[in-house]
Structure 1
Amino acid sequence: MDKDQQISDLLARVDKLAERVSILSDQVLKLTAENADLKERLSRYENPKNSRNSSIPPSKDENRPLKTKSLRKKSNKKPGGQHGRKGNTLQMTENPDHIIDYIPCYCGKCGIDLSKLPYELAGQRQVADIPPIKPVYTEHRIYRKQCACGHTTSGTYPAEALSRISYGPVVESLVGYLHTRQYLPFLRMKELFNDVLNLPVSEGGLHGIIDRLTKRALPVYEELRKRIAKSKVVGADETGAKVDGKKIWMWTWQNPTLTFITASPNRGFATIEKNFPEGFPNATLVSDCWKSHFKSGAWQHQICLAHLLRELNYFDDQYKSPWAKKCKKLLVSAIKINTQMESGDYLNHHPPRSSVESDMDLLLTEDIDAKHKEVVTFKK
């Protein structure tokens, strides 16, 4: 084979190899992209989002034990009561209901009679107890009289005497308290009344009492709604629950002193519109990122800092993101400053607050690794 032929063959071979290299390069780029995507998807299982590090509700957590990751930092305080705190020790009363005197009648050493000798108080102790509980039955009797004109006038029963035998206002108040504050089921409440209070009551009777209390509370319930609608700060949230085996949503709106709760089969904006049709024109509405809350009319919206901190925890676990660490540190600092501020500080220049605001503005200008897509979205 002459030299020209060899060169021609080599050039042809080089062309084929170049073509092969181009094909392999395309495959490498494609596989690299797929590998990066698979790594990101796999990392979601290695460091999954859950209710402890994100806004995901507990009901969506995987069915396996998870280590709780608290937002609280470790302190140097010892367990138990802290030095200098005001205690809540049970105190003796100045007016005991019963007094029992223990006066010695003979000498504990020689046995001589001491009954006629004078004595002095050497000490005292008190025992607080509850006497046997016995219901008090009050019988209301009405009488009638006939006037000379022939008309007969009868007395009237008081409002609490609803029927031949009924429960009084104290019993009804206790039922309401045990049901709405202590969350006792009807069966256990029935047992408590029968076994502890010696007062027979049926589950049907308890239902009737709750129904009557509910009707009386409706005006107060409506007043709560109106006051929260006029508040300057309102927190909103919703969570799933079951009523009669059916999935419903418990919605709550609250300000620093009042809470309004309603149950709804709907998790959407329709529930908000039904209860607060005019929104919260004077309020900063604090909520998680559920889209229905952002549809609520409000003076301004704020995302719950606890939810933001849990998201940042997830970004730290998932990506080891420096930006997420800085943001978390800044939010924690803002919370600490807020606890130290007086009411007047919000209306005037406050250097620590201004410093946090400046740091946040600066942080929002920093670049984030494009591979950390969730962090980029969070920043926006």
Structure 2
Amino acid sequence: MDFETVSTLQYRNRSLTKQVADFKSGEKYIQMAADYKELLRFHHREMKRLEYELSRAHSETVTVRRYWGGVMDDLEKEYREQIRRLEAEIGRLKKQNLELARQRDAAKDKLRERTGQYYAAASELEEERGKNKKLRAQVNRDFENSSLPSSLQRAGRKKIPNSREKTGRRPGGQPGHKGHPRRKHTPDITCEIPAPAEYAESPDYYETGKVIRKQKVCIRLGVEVIEYTAREYRSRKSGARVHAPFPEGFVNEVNYDGTVKALAFLLSNECCVSHGKIRRLLSELTGGRIVISDGMINGLCGEFSAKTGHEKKEIVRKLLSSPVMNADFTNASVNGKGMQVLVLASPSENAALYIGREKKGHAGVIGTPLADYVGTVVHDHDKTFYSYGTDHQECTQHDIRYLTGSIQNEPELTWNGQMLSLFREMLHYRNGLPEGAQPDPQAVSGFEAAYDRIL
């Protein structure tokens, strides 16, 4: 062992030896008893102090508890009073809510009744407006804004020769439009005007080589009478009178050739001139030398029909072979009786046929070229025509009339004016194309896009 360990053990041994000696002598016990009594007295004093503090704390707790009891009683009393007031307010609000609900239900019933009356009045007003608009449209209908024929135009209503509208522009050629001068003719007589001496003999002027030409066209009407004569012979045996045959067309003592008949036929059928005016016109033009009868003028239509059989067959052939045919019924009067005329036309074939019929409808179509036609039929929306052809298209002029009628009778709308302007623009473009030319696909697409946009 080292020195430090030995020293430590020696010191511990000496201390323990002293403690054993103290215990043997009894001094240690005396000392421990004294320490115990002192410690007991200390704890006893501490217990009294704690008991005193506990007593004070208990007393304070009782006091505080008494104080808080009073406070809680006051709070509970106030709370119960507040609950009583709130319950009373809730009862009042419930009564008020019930009254308001009753008033609301009454107001709803009244509003429902008023709403029903309003809708009934609005419906009646709208119905009356529709009737008024319909009656106004019927009153305003004429041949310019509907399919009503011009022959049914009522007295006192406006009547204009066409459906053109005033533009405010001056009459005549418009700036920017290609001019259409009068067609020049081959002259029968040419007269040269000598140049004035002030131009021809002056050294200040010289000829340009250009000749200025101006023509005057005249119509001269004359009467030429051609007479054929033939000697008459009589048979000594039978007494029969004979002569040389006259040329074709010489039947009566006085005959009229095709020039007179064609003029009378044209004036009667194409220009709708009365028979009396035709007789008077021919008499005045010929100085009273030609005076024809009403019977002759009446017979021109039958004679024309009999002599144009081949031409009518050719027109029928053109109509049946045309991809598009225009069809329409128009009124006519025969001996004071109402009749119908079926008009069939093909602008592409330059062919038109007028067929007199007693009635419209299928009875007026049967037996005509339209009954056997296979192609597109352009008409005025008459339901009869939908039974014929393979396709149908409404006449653009009727569309323009419908749009015009809509503009006049429904001024609150705007699409009808836009569509009418588009139709006129398309027609102006189509009519301005050279003969035989096809429309530009890009222009057609633009028109179709504008049409869809308006719809």
Same fold (TM over 0.5): yes
Question: Unaligned 5+ residue runs, structure 2?
Answer: 1-91, 192-214, 236-240
Deviation at 1:215, TM superposition (A): 1.5
**1:192 equivalenced with 2:284 (yes/no):** no
RMSD of aligned alpha carbons: 4.0
Equivalent-residue separation in structure 1 for 2:132 and 2:301 (angstroms): 52
Q: Is the 8 A contact 1:51 1:61 kept in 2?
A: yes
Aligned residue in 2 for 1:202: 293
Query: Match for 1:28: what amino acid?
Result: Y
SS at match of 2:325: strand
Equivalent-residue separation in structure 1 for 2:394 and 2:143 (angstroms): 16
SS at match of 2:328: strand
SS at match of 2:308: helix
Equivalent-residue separation in structure 2 for 1:62 and 1:183 (angstroms): 21
Q: Is the 8 A contact 1:334 1:356 kept in 2?
A: yes
The superposition leaves residues 121-164 of structure 1 with CA deviations (integer Å, 9 ceiling, x where unpaired) of xxxx9996747x44514133166799xxxxx9963222212234
Equivalent-residue separation in structure 1 for 2:111 and 2:217 (angstroms): 93
Which of 133, 139, 143 aligns to 1:51? It is 143
Aligned residue in 2 for 1:290: 382
Deviation at 1:249, TM superposition (A): 1.6
Counterpart mapping for 1:250-289 below 5 A: 250-256=341-347, 257-276=350-369, 278-281=371-374, 283-289=375-381
Cα distance, 1:31–1:233 mapped onto 2, change above 3 Å: same
Identity in percent: 18
The superposition leaves residues 351-370 of structure 1 with CA deviations (integer Å, 9 ceiling, x where unpaired) of 11122223334544xxxxxx
Equivalent-residue separation in structure 2 for 1:71 and 1:320 (angstroms): 23
Which of 152, 158, 170 aligns to 1:66? It is 158
SS at match of 1:334: helix
SS at match of 2:189: coil
Equivalent-residue separation in structure 2 for 1:178 and 1:296 (angstroms): 34
Query: Match for 1:39: what amino acid?
Result: R
Equivalent-residue separation in structure 1 for 2:338 and 2:266 (angstroms): 26
The superposition leaves residues 279-318 of structure 1 with CA deviations (integer Å, 9 ceiling, x where unpaired) of 432x4322211212222214x3221112112212222331
Aligned residue in 1 for 2:418: 326
Question: Unaligned 5+ residue runs, structure 1?
Answer: 97-124, 147-151, 365-380
Aligned pairs, number = 323
**1:182 equivalenced with 2:271 (yes/no):** yes
Cα distance, 1:140–1:217 mapped onto 2, change above 3 Å: farther
SS at match of 2:404: helix
- 228-237 or 5-14, which deviates more: 5-14
Q: Is the 8 A contact 2:228 2:246 kept in 1?
A: no
Q: Which has the higher contact order (CA 8 A, sep 6+)?
A: 1
Q: Is the 8 A contact 2:233 2:243 kept in 1?
A: yes
Aligned residue in 2 for 1:351: 442
Query: Match for 1:176: what amino acid?
Result: F
Deviation at 1:32, TM superposition (A): 0.4
Which of 238, 244, 262 aligns to 1:155? It is 244
Radius of gyration: which is bigger?
A: 2
The superposition leaves residues 340-379 of structure 1 with CA deviations (integer Å, 9 ceiling, x where unpaired) of 5564645xx7111122223334544xxxxxxxxxxxxxxx
Q: Is the 8 A contact 2:265 2:297 kept in 1?
A: no
**1:86 equivalenced with 2:177 (yes/no):** no
SS at match of 1:66: coil
Aligned residue in 1 for 2:260: 171
TM-score under structure 2 length normalisation: 0.59
Equivalent-residue separation in structure 1 for 2:304 and 2:232 (angstroms): 30
Q: Is the 8 A contact 2:327 2:344 kept in 1?
A: yes
